Amino acid sequence: MQTFLRSAMIMATLFLGVATAQAQNPVLVSAKFDMGFMPNGFDTNDQVQFAAEGLLSDSCHKPAPPVLDVDLTAQRIHVAPKALRYAGPCLDVITPYNQVIDVGLLPEGLYTVFAGSSRRVLGRIPVRRAMSAAPDDHLYAPVSQAFYRKNTAFHSVILTGEFTNSCIGFKENRVTVNQNVITVQPITEFQGTTNCRTGVFPFQKAVRLPPLPLGRYLLHVRSLNATAVNSIITVL
């Protein structure tokens, strides 16, 4: 009897050790993107970005950084989505996920984005030649967060962030909609040259959107120093 108990304890210890090792070592596997979101308005000074979303098969799969291959000669971008598969138990439930992919600086051209090595096109990104050496064509607000809001009358985007000079204010908020991408350009200007103070000056700005068809969109908000705030939203 003692021998049996000792053997059972050894087997249980080995099983727990294997289970722990499996839990600590997820496996990198291929995933899939079902839809791409390609912003317009990039030039050769911008950090080019796009977004994509897909579905994971169960609760044991978690998104991992995709593998990106950029062919500048052919102007093709191949993005291979990846996921980490963890040991179970797993819930048999489809899990949506989305990612923003940073491509970096690109020469002028029209780039086609492919899903991995396949011929399936997620979209196309135009990149124009920069007109100046500055990071942006405009002085954008330093947006840190952007929220989609709908009321009974219209759709809007709420922008929040912090100015670092009391004389900077909003000049114009440009909104363009291209297929499934809403681009917001919060343009600012110096609104005085006297009695300006440096510090932290929080802002909240509501930007009205045009009428939109129902569906999924990438909300792409340009921000200071050639950056952007991105989120995928559902317009209801």
Asked if pLDDT for residue 82 goes beyond 90, the answer is yes
Preceding omega of 89 cis (within 30 degrees of 0):
yes
Going by pLDDT thresholds of 50, 70 and 90, the confidence category of residue 24 is: low
Query: Which three-class secondary structure state does DSSP give residue 22?
Result: helix
Going by pLDDT thresholds of 50, 70 and 90, the confidence category of residue 2 is: low
| Closest alpha carbon to 205 in 174, 234, 231 | 174
Going by pLDDT thresholds of 50, 70 and 90, the confidence category of residue 8 is: very low
Asked if pLDDT for residue 26 goes beyond 50, the answer is yes
Max Cα–Cα distance, the chain, nearest Å: 91
Share of the chain above pLDDT 90, in %: 77
- Cα Rg for the chain, rounded, in angstroms? 24
30-60 residue pLDDT tens:
999 999 999 999 999 999 999 999 999 999 9
Share of the chain above pLDDT 70, in %: 89
Rounded to an integer, the average pLDDT of 83-100 is 93
Rounded to an integer, the average pLDDT of 188-216 is 93
Q: Which of 13-22, 199-208, 224-233 has the highest mean pLDDT?
A: 199-208
More confident residue, 88 or 93: 93
pLDDT value, residue 18: 47
Q: Quote the strand ranges of 8-120, DSSP E.
A: 27-30, 35-37, 42-43, 48-56, 61-71, 76-85, 95-104, 109-115
CB atoms within 10 A of CB 116: 19
- Strands 76-85, 109-115: pairing is parallel
Asked if pLDDT for residue 162 goes beyond 50, the answer is yes
- Mean pLDDT taken over the chain: 89
Contact assessment for residue 97 and residue 55, using Cβ atoms and an 8 Å cutoff:
yes
